[in-house]
Copies of this chain bind each other. A is one copy, B any other.
Amino acid sequence: MPTQSLNFGIIGAGRIGQVHAESLCYRLPQANVLAIADIFGDAARAAAERFHIPHATDDPTELLDNPAIDAIAICSSTPTHAPLMMAAAKAGKHIFCEKPIALDLGRIDEALAAVDAAGVKLQIGFNRRFDSNFQRIRQGIADGEIGSPHILRITSRDPAPPPIDYIKASGGIFLDMTIHDFDMARFLLADEVEEVYAQGGVMIDPAIGEAGDIDTAVITLRFCNGALGVIDNSRQAVYGYDQRVEVFGSGGTLSAENNTPHRVTASTRGGVSQAKPLHFFLERYMESYVAEMRAFCEAILNDQPTAVSGNDGRIPVVMGLACWKSYREQRPVRLDEVTLS
């Protein structure tokens, strides 16, 4: 039972903003939402009505100027993340920010410096760390259940490609999609990657290629401690959202299957069938969105470090940039080739 509660302002009333609004308003007793802002004022007002949020606005600065607000959830479009982080930090607000911080390392570093200077809490929205499957694997590795990790395998495939307009602005597959897997790799092995090698192609939709992106990729990782990793991505798994992970080590292997809407098997003359994986990322990861926000609240209330730091937000961007370099130059690329550039 919470003895304290936090007052939130939410910036961005799109899909992910509504996810966090629902968690903060309906699932987390330790949080209140005082206001929601969106440059489309109507969207802000609709969300405010839906979640019983007292104030809606098209001007995010109203939230930053409101002294009753303790924390800001930045759920607006990627280009606004870094400037809003800096403004919120300056206003002394704790910050939850969706990934990626930015597609440009300079802007990321500038934003993180502002946060550091302000001494506010910052948590980046890598929600998958809070999923029960991946938590179980992380815990097993931390407990030594499988000894030293040798090989990491991540399968991460979307049910359908995003709109081409999204792809054009997203930084491409390594920055809009694999970025989650980069974070997962670091989270699970508790080690840094030193080198990546990215292969890929346009196998699903030529329009994705025309937009300068690819839709299918296989990325290998070499960790600092010598472990190897493989990520395979596809923008279209017709059977649903395919999110599996395996970590193999000297003492065994831990592997996570997909979550499904039910556990029923139908056996008929035609065959034996089970549920497809949960199709939509909100179904698959809803509980992890609630859990990440709960963790953020508790980090603030207990004055502890957040579970996903600014650096945790920065490194996957470095990895994504290194993958693009690797893909284009058709050779393995060390992360320091990108970091130092």
Contacts and interface: CB of A to CB of B under 8 A. Distances in A.
B199 A220 contact: yes
Interface string A189-219: 0000000010111011000000000001110
B226 A201 contact: yes
A90 interface: no
A4 to B, nearest CB: 14
Query: Number of contact residues on A: which range applies?
Result: 35 or more
Given A230-B230, A273-B273, A332-B331, A140 B251 contact: no
A150 B248 contact: no
A49 to B, nearest CB: 7
Interface of A: 1, 26-27, 29, 46, 49-52, 132-133, 135-137, 140, 145-146, 148, 150-151, 153, 155, 157, 197, 199-201, 203-204, 216-218, 220, 222, 226-230, 232, 234, 236-240, 242, 248, 250-259, 261-269, 271-277, 330-332
Given A216-B228, A239-B269, A252-B268, 20 more contacts: A1-B50, A26-B27, A27-B27, A135-B262, A146-B268, A197-B199, A197-B332, A199-B220, A199-B222, A199-B228, A201-B228, A218-B230, A234-B248, A237-B253, A238-B250, A252-B269, A254-B265, A254-B267, A259-B263, A331-B332
